[in-house]
Amino acid sequence: MRILHVIDSFSPATGGPPEAVRQLVKASRAAGTEVEAVCLDSPQAEFLGGLDCPVHALNESYLGRYAFSPRLWHWLRANAGRFDGMVMHGAWTFPGSALRSAARRAHKPYGIFVHGALDPWFNRQYPLKHVKKLLYWPLQYAVLRDAAAVFFTTTTERDLAKTSFRPSHWKSVVAPLGIVEGEDFKHDPAAQVEAFYGAWPALRGRRFLLFLARMHEKKGCDLLIEAFARVARTAPEVDLVMAGPDQVGMQARLESRAGQLGIAGRVHWPGLIGGDVKWGALRACDALVLPSHQENFGVSVAEALRAGRPVLLSYQVNIWPEIENDGVGMASEDTLDGTVRLLQRWFGLPAAEQAAMAARAQPCFTARFSMEKTTAALHEVFAA
């Protein structure tokens, strides 16, 4: 089987979808599938390195995040016939409409991973953007309606998507995402931890909680700074690491607030981290913290579990029930009080129970977040 993945950009600064595609490519290749990808990045972009498939980087888009690209339109129409199925990652952009047109012309099936883009939280949080989306909905709905499958990572994401806009009739398929153990994970764990401490020597000898996501209001990073300040005195031996790209210029405001709250010396800002440094941070932390206002899955959650670390989440991270049921973490409301309670509960746990959560983390990952199920779902849709 030959599958094409379509994404606006593979830049890690855009969040989770690029990493999800990378993991899908690895899993599909391991299953014997021929995979290619097309994007609107520069062919010279460093972040395209390491992708385990041919990547057609077209280096052209217009109209901001809408990503209008005549070159993509022509490329898809010329190449759609070569594939047994095609997958769009994301919504609300021109590439989805271009893919629909090319697939219909070539009589080929396509699917869409919306990656949380249909969550009604966005409608409530950004009412002006919601009005724009209402005007665009006839075009976006056609892309969803005519897809062989609209892939959701959880049943919660699937059900919420149906409430965002009308009409909302499409073929839903729940296909949980996960990660594939690449060569970087298989490196010596002690060496990876040392790589992290080598990059951030101030943390050597300190325990810490790890936030690993974009600096964006959706991720609840402002809540985490405020909540940590409220509980910091109860755990003087624990710091907070805020790791991730600053996509919207939020980090300066967060750093300033940490200073006002008197915790600047205990909050660390390594920026975007990857490879051994990232895995070292995951292995060394006490727990991952992700108090998001909206999260359909959370790749960093799966990564933390694979590294054997517990996770502390908000109820808006859609996999929180599995996390609590498996005893590998805790969840609370995506409010300041909820985040404070989440940290208080964690710090109040006996060390033995924290260690027991960590011991259950890897088995939870193996049972729930294998990419084999996702690749099987793709094959089933496109082989029909």
Backbone angles phi, psi at 330, to 5 degrees: -135, 160
48 secondary structure, DSSP code? G
Q: What is the pTM of this model?
A: 0.81
- Write down the domain spans for the chain: 2-178+370-383, 189-368
CATH code for 2-178+370-383? 3.40.50.2000
- Tell me, what's the pLDDT at 49? 87
**Residue 173 pLDDT > 60, yes or no?**
yes
**Fold agreement between 2-178+370-383 and 189-368:** yes
Burial, 181: exposed, middle or buried (Cβ in 10 Å; 0-12, 13-18, 19+)?
exposed
CATH fold of 189-368? Rossmann fold (3.40.50)
CA distance 96 to 58: 16
Query: What confidence tier does 183 reach under pLDDT thresholds 50, 70, 90?
Result: low
Mean pLDDT of 55-68: 90
**Contact yes or no for 10/39 (Cβ under 8 A):** yes
- Tell me, what's the pLDDT at 223? 97
Instruction: Between 23 and 359, name the one with better pLDDT.
Output: 359
CA distance 155 to 194: 39
Pairing of strands 207-212, 287-290: parallel
- Tell me, what's the pLDDT at 70? 95
Cα torsion angle, 193, 194, 198, 201, sign: positive
Query: What confidence tier does 283 reach under pLDDT thresholds 50, 70, 90?
Result: very high
